[in-house]
Amino acid sequence: MSDPSNLRIAGISAAVTLAVSGLITLGFASDIFGSAVPQSAASDGQSAPQSTNGAKTKEAEQPQSESSSSEAATPPSTEEQPAPPQADRQKDQPIPAPDVDCEVARCVALTFDDGPDKNVTPKVLDTLKKTSTPATFFQVGREFAGNEALVKRALADGHVLGTHTWTHPQLPLLNPDELNEELANTIAASEQISGTRPTLMRPPYGLFNDAVIDKTIELGNSVIMWDVDTEDWKNKNPQETAKRALEGAHRGAIILMHDVHPSTAEALPTIIAELRKNGYSLVTIPQLLGNPTPGTVYYSGTLDQ
Ligand code: NI
């Protein structure tokens, strides 16, 4: 299925793209050198990216697949399957992908960084399950040990797993070997635990440069930023976290949260209920973006506000 953001990608020239990308990178670079950057894995202590561009790419030409026919590929069921008891269905079945077309519907993607966390991630998963809300997790490799069951559960529940490096470093400061280890090792470890290879990467602190983009192309990953920052890592206040999520929400929004803060888990039921009340469909990043392209940087699913 084609996607409005992908269509826009095709129209962005390489020169403009690189210029914008460079400006953004420089902006973040001044943050690196001009002020202290939190070192904690639990702190994405950068302000949200200010760009409202839906997506950018190094490559001027992005092939557009017109594969809308794939939607009709599911053959009709010819056999009646007996329905299991409701309780069993809820416990064992993954959260169904919402039957929405994000080119039409008001889709929003909830994203959670820095986990898995043995205390908070289960609470977040419980709420998502209870409310049939699919989400996207950007997980840190060094947190996998001892939390393998949470990684598997997130995938089994119907969520999408992305990566967020192994040790949460500032990627532009790394040499090529270090960069490769941070990205490739985390992708490999996630795949080893879950059985599914992640194709989405979120750079810590939102920091990336051309070397990072080149590496994600090599690894078949796209770069997923955000355009709504709940600042949950800073406020650690469920009311404030929810307020920022709801006030920032718009069609195509990618909302940044962290499943390592109890306050975020506490805010989540309100965020989900209010977004739905306001007419939003909650979807995963792949649902929001159509089919994310490796090496492309996405800030949201649409230019619409
Ligand atoms: Ni982070």
Residue 186 CA to ligand 1 center (angstroms) comes to 14
Res. 36: pLDDT tops 70: no
pLDDT for 93: 85
Percent of the chain surpassing pLDDT 90:
65
Residue 261 annotated as catalytic: no
Is pLDDT of 163 > 50?
yes
Ion ligand 1: residues, Cβ under 5 Å? 44, 113-114, 204
What beta strand segments (E) does the chain contain? 55-56, 107-113, 136-139, 160-163, 200-201, 222-224, 228-229, 254-258, 281-283, 297-298
Query: How far, in Å, from the CA of 69 to the mean position of ligand 1?
Result: 38
169 CA to centre of ligand 1 in angstroms: 9
Quote the CA–CA distance of 151 and 32 in Å, as a whole number: 31
Report CA(66)–ligand 1 centroid distance (Å). 35
Buried b (16+ CB within 10 A) or exposed e, 89-118: eeeeeebeebebebeebbbbbbbbbbbbbe
CA of 115 from ligand 1 middle (Å) equals 9
Of the residues 168, 258, 259, 261, only one is catalytic, namely 258
- Using the mean position of ligand 1's atoms as its centre, give its distance from the Cα of residue 73 in Å: 38
| pLDDT of 18 over the 80 cut | no
- Catalytic member of 113, 114, 117, 259: 113
Buried b (16+ CB within 10 A) or exposed e, 15-51: eebbeebeebbeebbebeeeeebeeebbbbbbebbeb
Residues 184-241 have pLDDT tens digits of 999 999 999 999 999 999 999 999 999 999 999 999 999 999 999 999 999 999 999 9
Neighbours of 290 (CB within 10 A): 18
Query: Of the candidates 128, 137, 51, 145, which has an alpha carbon nearest to the alpha carbon of residue 94?
Result: 128
Q: What is the mean pLDDT of residues 157-180?
A: 98
Q: Which residue in the block uniquely carries the two structure tokens 């990216």? A: 49
Q: Look over the chain and give the mean of its residue pLDDT values, rounded to a whole number.
A: 79
Tell me which DSSP letter residue 146 carries: T
Percent of the chain with pLDDT over 70: 69
Q: What is the pTM of this model?
A: 0.73
Neighbours of 241 (CB within 10 A): 27
